[in-house]
Structures are given as structure tokens and as C-alpha cells.
Amino acid sequence: MPIIRIEMFEGRPDEIKKELLMKVTTAAAEVLKIPAEHFTCIITDVPRKHWARGGVPFSEVELQFASQIMDRSFTSLALRSG
């Protein structure tokens, strides 16, 4: 029973998280040839002050820069999932 863990900045709407969970599960099920029902997905919302890059919390980084990092992460996820 595979477990998929997703850590991201807090604040995204529940509808977006629901879509993400569905798409990640579907992609993993297709790649691993395992029924989607066998997967468990966990989203952990992390406050920006508890997530750092280079020792600097994202709460102290310009919002535009943090947004670019998040966009690249989601683009990377989408490219890998198909």
C-alpha cells in the first residue's frame, strides 16, 4: 500500500488540494500498475516561517521569489506525472 506525501506551503484552497490528490494518485496508479484505491496520500501544510531555503525562512523572502519556487515545484510535478 504505497503512501504519497506532499509537503507545501499552507494556504491553498481545499478544492485545489482535492484535485492535486486525485491527479497524483491517478498518475502513480498508472505508472505502478496498482489500483488507485491502494494508495494513501497525505498533504502536510507547512507555514512559510517553518520552511527555509539556505537557512532563510520563506516568510522572510520576497513573496514573488517564493511564488516562483512554488510554481517551479508544481511544474516539475506535472512534468513527471505525465
The one catalytic residue in 2, 13, 35, 47 is: 2
Q: Map grid coordinates 486525485 to a residue.
A: 22
- Give me the DSSP letters along 40-82: EEEEEEE-GGG-EETTEEGGGS-HHHHHHHHHHHHHHHHHHH-
> Judging by beta carbons within 10 Å of its beta carbon (0-12, 13-18, 19+), is residue 27 exposed, middle or buried?
middle
Clarify whether 2 is annotated catalytic.
yes
Q: Which amino acids are annotated catalytic? A: 2
